Amino acid sequence: MREIYLDNSATTAVCREAADKALFVMTECYGNPSSLHYKGLQAQHETERARKSCASLIGCESDEIYFTSGGTESNNTALFGAAGALKKRGRRIVTSLIEHSSVIEAAQKLESDGFDVVFLQPGEDGCVSIESLANAVTADTVLVSLMLVNNETGSIQPVEKIRKIIDKAKAPALIHTDAVQAFGKIPIKVKKLGVDLLSASSHKIHGPKGAGILYVGKGARIVPLLYGGEQQKKIRPGTECVPAICGMGAAVESLPDIKTELSYITELNLYLRERLSEIDNIHINSPHEALPYILNFSLVGIRSETTLHFLEQHNIYVSSGSACAKGKKSHVLSALGLTQQQADSAIRVSFSRLNTKNDIDELVKNLIKANNTLARAR
């Protein structure tokens, strides 16, 4: 039975180029990049190539890229680093209720440490409004953290509007965006976005797990989470995971043209929306303006986990929400005002360049089976 993988927002299959690069580094360039001999210089050269590739993708200088273990570490470093660096200039932090848990929980910890944290409510379109951002940002705001693309619904947040709001409020705030679901999928230029800090992850773009980046723009000062080494200007000390980093670099270099790929994924998204209209009790949770790589819907009346495992029996893999939540109730869907029944039956389909319309046909065929077979359990 053919495998149909539609959970690419959780993780992606590692591309051959990334796997080959990681193996090459592990077996040939295995030196410590901080060592001064030839093997160390080899590893450093490969690491710097990956750094330049990541920098080029988001339009920044290579020395503004810091490698981390992934999106969670990048987000934590951004929030705690910015708050620690600017705490003498203000105590307000502005974020949203639909952020990834690595931002939500970091913000909650800062709140318990005495910071004034504002969690903005999204509108029905899944987006935080400009008005609510403007009302929340005050002169003592030190950080605004707003994700670029939501990991459960694909809603695209108005990150590029934040800089004007901060300037108008005359706040010292740094701007952070969690771009884990946007990196490599939509064109990103950090200067155009106006951000000081940006997080991204390797395993969402067909690279290996265990690598991510944090962009720290020139002029933005943050304090490190870790201590004990001179690596990466002490912002992220410790011996770099060179195989994962170089695998990430190879995955970036192997990305197809972003606009062409986005057009293809948009076709898949629209086709799935069209096919879902054939099924009774379907409620689409992702707004039409969302990133097409993600489509969240509810097969109302059948619990998410039940549908997920029914599809799994037919070698079709989807998600009931963020993989990091491990099946817990979605704080994102709750914030969007879905009914309990809609939230409990939500399914997230997330595409990659490896998916086809045939995958969608198989998915819909088996959703119809699930709807008919499991209807009695409603």
Instruction: State whether 207 and 316 are in the same domain.
Output: no
> Which of 131-135, 295-299, 305-309, 325-329 bottoms out in mean pLDDT, i.e. has the lowest?
325-329
Residues 61 and 48 in one domain: yes
Same domain for 238 and 135: yes
Q: What residues does 157 pair with on adjacent strands?
A: none
Determine the pLDDT at residue 337. 76
Can you give 41-71 as a three-state secondary structure string? HHHHHHHHHHHHHHHHHHCCCHHHEEEECCH
In the chain, count of helices (H) and strands (E)?
A: 13, 12
Is there a single domain that holds both residue 263 and residue 333? yes
Domain match, 22 and 171 both? yes
CATH code of 366's domain: 3.90.1150.10
Q: How far apart are CA 245 and CA 234, in angstroms?
A: 18
CATH at 96: 3.40.640.10
**In the structure, what pLDDT confidence band is assigned to residue 328 with cuts at 50, 70 and 90?**
low
Q: How confident is the model at residue 373 (pLDDT cuts 50, 70, 90)?
A: confident
pLDDT value for 331: 82
**Domain termination site, one of 206, 236, 253:** 253
CB contact at 8 A, 185 and 293? yes
Q: Where are the beta strands (DSSP E) in 153-272?
A: 174-178, 197-201, 212-216
According to the model, what pLDDT value does residue 22 have? 98
Q: Token match 């694909």: residue?
A: 154
Over residues 197-253, the pLDDT tens digits come to: 999 999 999 999 999 999 999 999 999 999 999 999 999 999 999 999 999 999 999
CB 200 within 8 A of CB 183: yes
* Residue 196 and residue 86 share a domain: yes
| pLDDT tens-digit map of 113-171 | 999 999 999 998 899 999 999 999 999 999 999 999 999 999 999 999 999 999 999 99
Q: Which of 71, 95, 72, 100 is nearest to 83 (CA)?
A: 95
The mean pLDDT of the chain is: 94
Residues 294, 245, single domain; the answer is no
Of the residues 253, 287, 311, which one is the last residue of a structural domain?
253
Task: Quote the pLDDT of residue 374.
Answer: 78
What is the total count of domains within the chain? 2
C-alpha triplet 355, 359, 362: angle, nearest 5°: 170
Within this chain, do residues 215 and 270 fall inside the same structural domain, yes or no? no
Helix (H, G, I), strand (E, B) or coil at 360: helix
What is the domain range of residue 136? Answer: 16-253
Same domain, 230 and 277: no
* Coil, helix or strand at residue 153: coil
pLDDT computed for residue 322 by the predictor: 46
Residue whose tokens read 């969007």: 336
Show the 3-state SS of 314-329: CCEECECCCHHHCCCC
Whole-model pTM: value is: 0.95
Pick from 212, 226, 143, 131: nearest CA to 177: 143
Write out the two tokens for 335.
């914030």
State mean pLDDT over 330-337.
80
Structure tokens at 133: 């951002």
**Interacting residues of 236 by C-beta distance below 8 A, sequence separation 6+:** 66, 67, 68, 77, 214, 224, 225, 226
Single residue among 220, 253, 286 that ends a domain in this structure: 253
| Catalytic residue positions, numbered | 324
> Are 298 and 232 within one domain?
no
Q: How confident is the model at residue 30 (pLDDT cuts 50, 70, 90)?
A: very high
